[in-house]
Amino acid sequence: MSKVTIVGAGKYGSTTVQRVAAADIADEVVMTDIVEGLPQGLALDMNQSRPLERYRTKVIGTNDYADTAGSDVVVITAGLPRKPGMSRMDLLEVNAKIVADVTREIMTYSEAPVIIVVTNPLDHMTTLAAEVSGLDRNRVMGQAGNLDTARFAHFISEAAGADVLDVEALTLGSHGPTMVPVPSQCFVGGTPVTEALDAETLASLVERTRGGGAEIVGLLKTGSAYYAPSSAAAKMVKAVLTDSGEKMPVCAWTTGEYGIEGVYLGVLATIGAGGVKEIVELDLTADELSALRGAAGAVAEKVEELHGLDLG
């Protein structure tokens, strides 16, 4: 029996629940939140869509962590989203308290889940969940790369006038200003993106991808993006549940790859039942490699700040 828990029944959490449930590969998806009635109401609504959408996975809405017992995969979405003008880093302190608390609760009821963190600032909240859970680092990862890569692919397809499904894109690094879109690994219908688009256009798409989340926050005025983010998280959940070994960019614990170690960072990895199976090292250009190392340094610096917080 496979069981998934999604913590946080807000925009990101509830959309992820819906996507995972509709995939019909888990027996149960538990959705929990501190707001009473919210996860229960959403679960009832989602379960009633099953006869129409033709899937069986049942959603359990709850405020009680006891209902999460024995989860195979847990996605942590609990926390505050950005407001216009805020950086993800502005959420560090408030979300660190929430993520530390949630992780302790999860570990009280599940022995060795795979934890996928999506709460921002992503790289730091993933680090925190790993430290608080005490789990093997491979079992704790963060979602950012699938989303940033999808955003980059969308922008490339629009600029190149190409079918979005013919675009292969990739971003590595942090989920923030030191994100590293990787043009050397991007293709449009098999043609390198560096040949399909001129350098100026490509540079503007790289910048737009780095600010992809902020652009949506600015338009929405309240809350942040959740349709593409939930697709990105659900893709990771599915890879774990089906032990697919699929390759995707995730925030993973580095152990010397690219000369980087001891920091959670966006890298390409194979994902399966135990979380990260293996980090796949790519042949990056010198500029990309240096940007990736810069991102690692920026994350490590902020982790120091995180360690200075009193998280109870």
Smaller CB separation from ligand APR, 73 or 202? 73
Could you give the angle at the alpha carbon of 116 between the alpha carbons of 217 and 221, nearest 5°?
10
Backbone angles phi, psi at 77, to 5 degrees: -115, -5
Residue 101 touching ligand APR (CB under 6 A): yes
Examine residue 82 and tell whether it contacts ligand APR (CB under 6 A).
yes
Number of residues interacting with ligand APR: please give it, by CB under 6 A.
Answer: 28
Q: How far is the CB of 197 from ligand APR (least distance, A)?
A: 29
Instruction: Give min distance, CB of 258 to ligand APR, in A.
Output: 26
Residues classed as catalytic: 175
Q: Which of 68, 95, 146, 209 binds ligand APR (CB under 6 A)?
A: 95
CA–CA separation, 58 and 122 (whole Å): 29
Write the interaction track for ligand APR spanning residues 20-39; mark x where CB under 6 A is met and - where it is not: -------------xxx----
Q: Does 77 bind ligand APR (CB under 6 A)?
A: yes
Does 126 bind ligand APR (CB under 6 A)? Our answer is no
Binds ligand APR by CB under 6 A, chosen from 3, 5, 6, 12 = 12
Max CA separation in the chain (angstroms): 55
Question: Which of 34, 137, 184 has the alpha carbon at shortest distance from 13?
Answer: 34
Q: Which residue is nearest to ligand APR (CB)?
A: 10
Q: How far apart are CA 24 and CA 97, in angstroms?
A: 33
The DSSP annotation for 68-131 comes to GTT-SEEEE--SPPP-TT--GGGGHHHHHHHHHHHHHHHHHH-SS-EEEE-SSSHHHHHHHHHH
Binding flag, residue 17, ligand APR (CB under 6 A):
no
d(CA 152, CA 187): 11
CB distance 140 to 122 below 8 Å: no
Residues that bind ligand APR (CB under 6 A): 7-13, 33-35, 77-82, 91, 95, 98, 101-102, 118-120, 223-224, 226, 229
